[in-house]
Structure 1
Amino acid sequence: MSDDTASGKPDSGEEEAPRVFIVDDDEGFRDSMVMLCDSVGLETEAFASAAEFLRRFSPEMRGCLLLDVRMPGMSGLELQQELSRRNSRVPIVFMTGHGDIPMAVAAMKAGAADFLSKPFSHQELLDRIHRALRIGEREEEPRRREAEVREAYERLTPREQDVMHLVVQGAANKVIASRLGISQRTVEIHRAHAMEKMEADSLADLVRSAVVLGL
């Protein structure tokens, strides 16, 4: 956990663990939110301003952002717009005062995951945080799947890749053997190795992986 100060960014390409990022200019409120999240085992980082959060921002951030709508300097809505420009995948839960409902509606239309009107109960906040974390996990799944498929594909030998390309195009082993100038038995071996390395139990599985790879 860190409070009010931006911690160092992870090495490029390193995936961060999910956590709750809290951005609010009220120090007492930030501290109470950190304590609440800590009490249920949620990792947190807290920031006093949007600018401070942006200094910490990384495209690899995972979790959710608990964000006050009105803050000195850059507002919550302006931070949301900036994060959108930076292709952030972190779901945002906005916290608003009673008179800020129209701003919260605008934030939702711009892609925010949820909003809460102050004052709110601890349980209500935790429910919204967990919901936002689930949204983040669902959005991460295609990206995670693509990374796994690409890693598996890179383990194939060049010849296994050649065979896989032709298999997913619907070519029979005999045709593949002719095109590649190898025996049908060799094709069968390469095909079996490709299926195993790609963790494909069927041709349909292999085709799905090929779609992910854009083959």
Structure 2
Amino acid sequence: MKYIANTTRRLKIVAIDDSQMILNFLKAFFGKEYDVTTYGSTSEALKDLSEGKVFPDCILSDFYLGNDMTGLEFISQYKELDSTTPILILSGSCEMNQKLECLQSGAADFVTKPFNPMELDVRVKNALSISSHENTYRHAV
């Protein structure tokens, strides 16, 4: 499956995690195909997103970020700003109620850590493809 949403610019991913190792990996892995901006906290990311400093096509966020807001709280706050950008939650927990809460709150997907990089890549592409189709439909109506 080849994904082409916009050939005039590289798509942008925002990655949020309190682990610098995960952020470095996501930036290196996805940086070959996307522009990747990383944040060590959801509050820092939300500040830049709300101020229009970054306009992502997709967001990858850890669920637990130490003393920061959870991924669930981030989804809720960010969806008030932009309900169209897909958010994928990454979590070391595989509790079903946590997954369901995130998905019911508007997350495009929930991926359990440790994740397979190729699987995460496919999930990101799927989320971007669905988002692109929804935006095309929204503008056609």
TM normalised by structure 1 equals: 0.55
Of structures 1 and 2, the one scoring higher in RCO (CA 8 A, sep 6+) is 2
C-alpha separation in 1, matches of 2:118 and 2:15: 17
Bigger radius of gyration, 1 or 2? 1
Q: Which residue of 2 aligns with 1:24?
A: 17
C-alpha separation in 1, matches of 2:54 and 2:116: 31
In 1, are the aligned partners of 2:72 and 2:105 still within 8 Å (CA)?
no
Q: Which residue of 2 aligns with 1:121?
A: 116
Q: 1:101 to 1:69 in 2, by over 3 A?
A: farther
What SS does structure 2 have at the residue aligned with 1:98? coil
Residues 126-137 of structure 1 mapped to structure 2, 5 A cutoff:
126-137=121-132
More helix by share: 1
Q: Which residue of 2 aligns with 1:139?
A: 134
Give the CA deviation at 1:94.
0.7
Q: Which residue of 2 aligns with 1:95?
A: 90
In 2, are the aligned partners of 1:24 and 1:71 still within 8 Å (CA)?
yes
Q: Which residue of 1 aligns with 2:59?
A: 65
Q: Which residue of 1 aligns with 2:5?
A: none
- The question of 1:43 aligning with 2:35 is answered yes
Q: 1:59 to 1:103 in 2, by over 3 A?
A: farther
In 1, are the aligned partners of 2:58 and 2:85 still within 8 Å (CA)?
yes
Give the CA deviation at 1:124.
0.7
Tell me, which stretches of 5 or more residues in structure 1 are unaligned?
A: 1-15, 147-211
Q: 1:114 to 1:60 in 2, by over 3 A?
A: same
In 2, are the aligned partners of 1:69 and 1:103 still within 8 Å (CA)?
no
Q: Which residue of 2 aligns with 1:204?
A: none
What SS does structure 1 have at the residue aligned with 2:31? helix
Give the CA deviation at 1:86.
2.0
Q: 1:60 to 1:48 in 2, by over 3 A?
A: closer
Give the CA deviation at 1:62.
4.1
Q: Which residue of 2 aligns with 1:111?
A: 106
What is the identity percentage for the equivalent residue pairs of Structure 1 and Structure 2? 25
In 2, are the aligned partners of 1:21 and 1:44 still within 8 Å (CA)?
yes
Q: 1:17 to 1:88 in 2, by over 3 A?
A: farther
Amino acid of the structure 1 residue aligned with 2:31: D
Give the CA deviation at 1:60.
8.3
In 2, are the aligned partners of 1:64 and 1:91 still within 8 Å (CA)?
yes
Q: Could you give the per-residue CA deviations for residues 145-199 of structure 1, whole angstroms, max 9, x where no partner exists?
A: 36xxxxxxxxxxxxxxxxxxxxxxxxxxxxxxxxxxxxxxxxxxxxxxxxxxxxx
